[in-house]
Structure 1
Amino acid sequence: MKTLLRPFLSLILTGSLFALSNKTHAQALYTITGLVTDAHTGEPVPFASVALVGRRVGTLSDENGRYALTIKNLTDSLAVSSLGYLTLRHAIDKERMTQAIDFKLSPGGNALQEVIVRAGENPAFRVLRQVRKNRLLNDRSRLSAYECDSYVKTEIALSHVSEKMRRNPLIRRINEAMSQQDSLLDDEGHRLLPMLASESVSRYYSRSNPQRLREEIRKTRIKGVAVDDAGLSSQLLGGTGLVNQNFYNNYIPILGKDFASPTGDNWKNWYEFFLADTTQIGDRICYEIQFDPKRPEDLAFVGKVWIDTLSFALCQIEAHIGSGANLNYVRRLTIEQELEPTLDSASGSSTTTGWLPVSLRLMADLVGVGKQSLGMRAQVTLHNSNILVNRPRPVGFYDQPIELSDTVATTNDRYWNMVQRELAGTDSLNHNDRKARQLIDSLRQIPVVRTAEAIDEVAVTGFYKLGGVELGPYPYLFAYNSVEGLRTRLGFRTNDRFSRSWILRGYVAYGTLDHRFKYGAEIDYLLSRRHWTLLGGRMSSDLERLGLTPELIGGNRMFYALSRFGRYRGAYQRVQREVFFMTEPVKGILITTTLGSRSFQPLFPFQYRVEPDLGDQSPLRSTIMDMYWSIEARLARKEKYVMDGNDRITLGTKRAPVLTIRYTRGARTLGSDYSYSRITLRAQQMLRLGPLGQMTYLLAAGYTPSTLPAPLLFPHVGNPTPLLTINTFNRMQFYEFVSDRFVAIHIQHKFEGLLFNRLPGIRKLNWRLVANADALWGSETRANRAVETFKPMPDGLKPIHIGSLNGRIPYVELGYGIDNIFKIFRIQGIHRLTYLGAGSNGLPIDKFVVKGSASFSF
């Protein structure tokens, strides 16, 4: 989710620095009048529905068949429908402020299927039961495969700027520079500031067994503020991923939440229904059913669904997120879909098989935190055409989930003219779209905007871009701790502007207290993007903390940066060198082999027995030299990712765990102090449980049969800081326990609004209940405990003791708390339930602590 939203977060951050005056300027209104009559008799048709296509704006004809419609913004056509007549559409001339359009309706001759209504039962229930009964015939997931051409148009603009923000000096400078430009208004009369306008054309492929997806992005044209990388933006904004919701499923994933579907298995538990009427859509007669959530605060929709009376297939749906739903930053969100039956391409017959969406539209109005925040409007429109079904491609065809054409961003006006005629139709760039592109060009010429773009690039990515080289990341720039004093670090990395094959990274750091330079450098060569094959080498000399290396905390950049502040217990100097080879021979299986060395030179009192069989007569040593090789396999089924220059960014897996297994072998023949074997396993996954919320788990295990000093075993990751960090033991001290075999599980459950939505008063706060459970089973063999010594150091200091666990008694933490306080903060209490005696440092253990964190989520 985070990486997927990178361009959008960039736009929001840019918008936080400037916005456009939001005064509602006077705008001329469009007026459409006309007469609705029966095509055969010429008699007026009273109370006919007259509406703009694609908008919930309309009126009814009067008893004489006349209508009048006054609106601020037009769509491309007007539609008229009435019971017993075929729906009729007529194009609108957008250049005329006043026009007259008459309609002559033809009677409809389709016969409806019989609907048996049981006494006392809502008549909509029978229709919905038939929808579920016929799902296996109509749901597109029953198709063995399908492919289609997809046209996607994405528009993003800032809106709803408060009076307080308009007084900001930066905003005034923007307003002055843009004052001569034409205005764009939304359907509520708010002035818009366009931030992004894009069009994309791709060929989309889907296969059911095994489940595979592939998207070939053929052409993209993008204009946007803080959007320079057409390749990355094409992958995030193109295709059907943003608006391809399947309402036959029980839950619809939107913005990381699961919304109950009005046509899912549990429709009766979530919604109230009203069978409004039958109406004609195209050449089909449909039941029109309105739906509303039973409880406004639930994650459910408000809207209408149209069901084909013959096949009971979902023909069209218009769904809005209810205003009372427990959802952050969303003022309004609408999903519209039109579906049509497809013909079996494999058999070549006229047999109808499955319904696919041919037109989709998603519109969202987002707001920030607080009443004085600005808003953002995003709209995505998609059209599918040239559909082929039940012609699965070979499994290997889907190995590259997203592939960009070599000419994806090159200009080709003839191509886009063809797209307008054959794919996009009336949804291709209209007058307002062209005006938005002109405004974006003008906006990017304003100096303060260019400055804002540079600032939010740093804020979002952590790096400052200078052509082919990027400086950063900024969270590591400064730190202050008891060993280094003030630590200053400068780093860089190269991007694809520097080279499409060579990748360089490096940093240098210096501490004012220890007066030592630290450094790190890495050079990689990208052999294949298709199979993600890298050959590289790295080396570093830096200060680390026992049990808190980057490898152990799983790339949690912010936690690692904050851990360098304050009292730096367990510090040691590490010099590490590695060469590695990484490849993905089969989609979803990443293999990495590594040959390396590392040294351990403690800066705290520590020593161990070199020959533990001799007991107290054994020689003692503090440093360790480790030479090793390893092989790792990472299995991630259904993982989606995008290419960002020379980086591959994962978008996560779809309801499938990520499994990692690693074998490491230390070898004296390579110069190591010890020969040993080690195996580690990890499994992590997010489980969406519908109304019960979301659960994430991390299962980790490790085993080494060798006799080794504690730093080469498994130090468990504690977190005594005030910052709540998942997948650590938040009541455990740094290097409090070490094991040579262990199993650990971290479980976090977000109840969303399941409980708090039912409590009067609290539900208005949109608080969400969270809970966690962390358990660790570990032990240390007698041989490994014998390596430890309590003999004083030469300077008289007592060496640090690292504790071990009783294999029969697990270490357990339980926590509970409140999330979404002011839409950002989380407060959680953590109970330590076992190992409550004095810790390894002799200090008493706190059984309970309250910690906090901050995060952005919908």
Structure 2
Amino acid sequence: MRPLYTVICTFLIFTSFSINGFGQGQTTYTVTGLITDSNTGEPIPFASVALVGRKNGTLTDERGRYTLTVKLLTDSLAVSSMGYKTLRKFIDKERASQAVDFKLTSVGTALQEVTVRAGENPAWRVLRQLRKNRSINDRTRLSAYEYDSYVKTDIGLTHVTDRMRKNPLIKKINQAMSKHDSIVDDEGHRVLPLLASESVSRYYYRDNPSRKREDIRKTRIRGVAVDDAGLSSQLLGGTNLVNQNFYDNYIPILGKDFASPIGDNWRNWYEFYLADTTQIGDHVCYEIQFDPKRPEDLVFKGKAWIDTTTFALCMIETKIGSGANLNYVKGLTIEQELEATYDSTSNKSVTAGWLPISIHLTADLTGVGKQSLGLRANVTLRNNNIIVNRPKPMLFYEQPIEPSDTAATANDAYWASVQKNLAGSDSLNKEDLKTREIIGKLRAVPAVKAAESVGQVLITGFYKMGIIDLGPYPYLFAVNSIEGLRTRIGFRTNESFSRNWIFRGYLAYGTLDNRFKYGAEINYVFSRQKWTIAGVTINRDLERLGLTPELIGGNRIFYALSRFGRYRGTYDNFQKEAFFKTEPIRGILLTATIGSRAFDPLFPFHYREQPDMGDASPLRSDIFDAYWSIEARLARKEKYLMDGNERITLGTKRAPILTIRYTRGAKSLGGQFNYDRLTLRAQQSLRIGVLGRMNYLLSAGYIPSTLPAPLLFPHIGNPTPLLTTNTFNRMQYYEFVSDRFVALHLQHRFEGLLFNRLPGIRKLNWRLIANFDALWGSQSEANKSLETSKPLPNGARSIRFGSLDPDTPYMEVGYGIDNIFKLIRIQAIHRLNYLNNNMNGIPTDKFALKASATLSF
């Protein structure tokens, strides 16, 4: 089970109910005091007083006195003023009123001279110097580094409206909670905890070539919809959630690219103000405030503190504005504090680069509409025991994430040591302990358990029932012209059954053809570290030419919908395979397969067995194919997680995924044909700065042998109203078949580049999207000669497959609007050529409007 995703899905299910409940906490706290110089005793006017970990703060008056009134206290207060060291003191979070005085110590650090040019913003000079010194200060200059990392994550529901308080589910939750079970956020809203976790790991990085590894040493998790500590530790531990490097030009968050305020293009995105100099730890820093030039852009607002001597980034506080073109996000803040590191290979104190020692992330999510619930996530990270420039051997980094066998084992003494030496003062305070108590009570509420189950099904497609998972549910029902009402039930075993043996299977039945269909698979996992697995499969079912699960890349929804309606190009497929796959080197997955398949068409199709005889050749409709294949998949820097017995890929970081496959058809294995088949595939997501993101899929195939059309390359058409990427959306099913081809699918998301600049439209948060699809292909004369125009015994003519002119590519272009109501995408598709290709009585439409629905930030 995927806990983080299921927690979020549970939140979405709560919002979907016709949502007594959470009240508003109105308690206020007041802290007063006097700030003076420790040497002279003189009051310090206009000193900054702020709660540590919160945005609440104030300034002292002319007499050095301050009054701070808030709805929620943290456990410490910080005071800073120009020329003095920052001082922190603990305060009592439970007291409504208290007095705390500070005596600040002056610091005599001399500032570098700052030359201000006439008419120039004085902050620009500091930022230019920061970029100039990046090669000295940025962590990427290090050949290697490692450190101990502590991460605390809390997720809870908040912002319950009056309408939601009438919901029966919320009422049942409140019946299970006592009056003392309440936690209040910094806005005074009560929070319903869903998840609380802590994780300790050792993180390793080396450069040239870039490699990462994280050894998860200990994890403890309490939460709703969480029952897998192994996967949870991978999702919530270490640097998976908070590892932003603001020296980069763009910061990836929630699948979007935010322009960094200290990146190369800082002047294009931000307005800057040089505010003051401030003491941050042992460093005197320039304080620079930044605001977006256009609030709708994917940018931040906040403050950065830059060391006055090295021009290194010491600390940064960023916040995503409410006007940003981002879905479901009410607010998001990231706070980082960095420290200089010293070369561990040298006896001298040589500064080697700056690494983050403290990171705090807060995200407030909301559903669609003003009456939706809110979801708040808080992540706190502490790094310590840093070692730099001591790279490990390459083999050490082969397993990127390695949970300890005892990661989830309880050990109170271990956690007491962590809180003392690594986690810091904000680990497991009174609020955290109360959170864990509430979660324990919440998991016992039957209505919450039901919401967990529904969320699990929506996210994974399976319902977990003991040692097996039932599903996937998109395939449960279909209605088509061949099978009538088709019902299907499937299952897979999970890690509770075995961590090595995996069984999968399904059974389907059609009321019109009165036939059972089935599939079964047995796998054995030899190694998770190098992902080595072997298996055998058997499958007997109806398929549509050109639309097998392998060809459409695991798109379950498209594959399920393709079984509805008129089921053209259907054939009975009986396939058996045995396979072995292994990843001997990280990022290189090798697969060997041997198998056979029987093709028996349910549509009028015949081919010539002896094409040199012309129309006198005997005809045949069925095909028996026996083959073996080898495949290599290269995915450099690919990230993945282990979810029980399933390996979940998280994609690559700006690197293409390359796949090459060779297949040999062999009569010696019992098949009808000897043939060779070569396919290549490359796909990647490209970041193009202010222009947005572009995704491409480039594929090619070559068959030098003479084969019937079903064994060649039937290109994937999509005549349905559903928009599907990486298909030809104005091409009919199996309209064109090739024995050699090159296909290109380009999709570009402009994000808010254009619409954010149009008055009136920019408030809608629409996003422009465009695509271009092209196909170069052809068939040899030998393959064309296998087709027959001779009438079949029943008088029908055999289906004929079109072929492309090798000098003229098939082309489509599309453009449309994404993010309508934060969900809908409508796109216009134009077919540019082959407009008179009326094959098999199916007209060609050169234009269509198509739609799809996706949940994305």
Query: What TM-score do the two structures reach when normalised by structure 2?
Result: 0.99
Separation of aligned partners in 2, 1:382 and 1:249: 20
What's the offset of the Cα at 1:180? 3.5
Q: 1:357 to 1:263 in 2, by over 3 A?
A: same
Separation of aligned partners in 2, 1:63 and 1:181: 42
CA contact (8 A) 1:535 1:580 kept: yes
Separation of aligned partners in 2, 1:527 and 1:158: 41
Residue 489 of structure 2 aligns with which residue? 490
Residue 523 of structure 2 aligns with which residue? 524
Read off the aligned partner of 1:432 and give its amino acid letter.
Answer: E
Residue 111 of structure 2 aligns with which residue? 112
Residue 705 of structure 2 aligns with which residue? 706
CA contact (8 A) 1:14 1:226 kept: no
What's the offset of the Cα at 1:17? 5.9
CA contact (8 A) 2:523 2:533 kept: yes
SS in 1 for 2:424: helix
Separation of aligned partners in 2, 1:182 and 1:548: 54
CA contact (8 A) 1:4 1:651 kept: no
Read off the aligned partner of 1:90 and give its amino acid letter.
Answer: K
Separation of aligned partners in 1, 2:59 and 2:553: 61
CA contact (8 A) 1:20 1:161 kept: no
Q: How does 1:113-152 map to 2 (within 5 A)?
A: 113-152=112-151
CA contact (8 A) 2:7 2:194 kept: no
Query: Are 2:738 and 1:750 aligned?
Result: no
Residue 234 of structure 1 aligns with which residue? 233
What's the offset of the Cα at 1:76? 2.3
Q: Deviations over 1:371-423 (max 9, x none)?
A: 11111001111000000000000111100000010001111110100010011
Separation of aligned partners in 2, 1:598 and 1:553: 19
Residue 635 of structure 1 aligns with which residue? 634
Residue 37 of structure 1 aligns with which residue? 36
Read off the aligned partner of 1:614 and give its amino acid letter.
Answer: M
Separation of aligned partners in 2, 1:317 and 1:271: 15
Read off the aligned partner of 1:599 and give its amino acid letter.
Answer: A
Q: 1:507 to 1:544 in 2, by over 3 A?
A: same
Separation of aligned partners in 1, 2:388 and 2:26: 50
What's the offset of the Cα at 1:427? 2.1
Read off the aligned partner of 1:814 and give its amino acid letter.
Answer: V
Query: Are 2:228 and 1:206 aligned?
Result: no
Residue 64 of structure 2 aligns with which residue? 65
Q: How does 1:252-651 map to 2 (within 5 A)?
A: 252-651=251-650
CA contact (8 A) 2:2 2:643 kept: no
CA contact (8 A) 2:767 2:817 kept: yes
Residue 177 of structure 1 aligns with which residue? 176
Separation of aligned partners in 2, 1:314 and 1:663: 51
What's the offset of the Cα at 1:179? 4.6
Q: Deviations over 1:297-355 (max 9, x none)?
A: 11111000000000000000000011211111111100000000001011232111100
What's the offset of the Cα at 1:15? 3.1
Q: CA RMSD in A?
A: 1.3
Query: 425-434 or 820-829: which moved more?
Result: 425-434
Separation of aligned partners in 2, 1:794 and 1:9: 59
What's the offset of the Cα at 1:14? 4.6
CA contact (8 A) 1:582 1:593 kept: yes
SS in 1 for 2:690: helix
What's the offset of the Cα at 1:99? 2.1
Residue 186 of structure 1 aligns with which residue? 185
Query: 333-342 or 426-435: which moved more?
Result: 426-435
Read off the aligned partner of 1:206 and give its amino acid letter.
Answer: Y
What's the offset of the Cα at 1:52? 0.9
Separation of aligned partners in 2, 1:774 and 1:66: 68
Separation of aligned partners in 2, 1:20 and 1:740: 66
Residue 24 of structure 1 aligns with which residue? 24
Separation of aligned partners in 2, 1:460 and 1:565: 23
CA contact (8 A) 2:715 2:736 kept: yes
Read off the aligned partner of 1:600 and give its amino acid letter.
Answer: F
Read off the aligned partner of 2:427 and give its amino acid letter.
Answer: S
Read off the aligned partner of 1:26 and give its amino acid letter.
Answer: Q
CA contact (8 A) 1:20 1:192 kept: no
Query: 54-63 or 585-594: which moved more?
Result: 54-63
Separation of aligned partners in 2, 1:395 and 1:463: 38
Query: What TM-score do the two structures reach when normalised by structure 1?
Result: 0.98
Separation of aligned partners in 1, 2:766 and 2:698: 28
Read off the aligned partner of 1:172 and give its amino acid letter.
Answer: K
Q: How many residue pairs are counted as aligned between the two chains?
A: 856
CA contact (8 A) 2:6 2:452 kept: no
CA contact (8 A) 1:635 1:660 kept: yes
Separation of aligned partners in 1, 2:777 and 2:77: 70
What's the offset of the Cα at 1:740? 0.2
CA contact (8 A) 2:635 2:658 kept: yes
Q: 1:348 to 1:76 in 2, by over 3 A?
A: farther
CA contact (8 A) 2:6 2:456 kept: no
Separation of aligned partners in 1, 2:403 and 2:834: 55
CA contact (8 A) 1:9 1:460 kept: no
What's the offset of the Cα at 1:370? 1.1
Separation of aligned partners in 2, 1:471 and 1:704: 39
Residue 729 of structure 2 aligns with which residue? 730
CA contact (8 A) 1:259 1:690 kept: no
Residue 664 of structure 2 aligns with which residue? 665
What's the offset of the Cα at 1:94? 2.6
Q: 1:15 to 1:430 in 2, by over 3 A?
A: farther
Q: 1:654 to 1:5 in 2, by over 3 A?
A: farther
SS in 2 for 1:803: coil
Residue 782 of structure 1 aligns with which residue? 781
Q: Deviations over 1:269-321 (max 9, x none)?
A: 11110000001111211000000011111111100000000000000000001
Separation of aligned partners in 2, 1:348 and 1:73: 47
SS in 1 for 2:474: helix
Q: Deviations over 1:193-218 (max 9, x none)?
A: 00000000000001111000100001
CA contact (8 A) 1:717 1:728 kept: yes
What's the offset of the Cα at 1:845? 1.1
What's the offset of the Cα at 1:128? 0.4
What's the offset of the Cα at 1:30? 2.3
Separation of aligned partners in 1, 2:156 and 2:93: 22
Which sections of structure 2, spanning at least 5 residues, go unmatched? none
Separation of aligned partners in 1, 2:44 and 2:336: 29
CA contact (8 A) 1:11 1:195 kept: no
CA contact (8 A) 2:306 2:315 kept: yes
CA contact (8 A) 2:33 2:100 kept: yes
Query: 829-838 or 79-88: which moved more?
Result: 79-88
Residue 796 of structure 1 aligns with which residue? 795
Separation of aligned partners in 2, 1:497 and 1:852: 40
SS in 1 for 2:163: helix
SS in 1 for 2:155: strand
What's the offset of the Cα at 1:836? 0.2
Read off the aligned partner of 1:21 and give its amino acid letter.
Answer: G
Read off the aligned partner of 1:91 and give its amino acid letter.
Answer: F
Q: 1:35 to 1:21 in 2, by over 3 A?
A: same
Q: 1:20 to 1:83 in 2, by over 3 A?
A: farther
SS in 1 for 2:542: strand
What's the offset of the Cα at 1:26? 3.4
Q: 1:7 to 1:149 in 2, by over 3 A?
A: farther
Separation of aligned partners in 1, 2:792 and 2:177: 72
CA contact (8 A) 1:714 1:740 kept: yes
SS in 1 for 2:188: coil
Read off the aligned partner of 1:244 and give its amino acid letter.
Answer: N
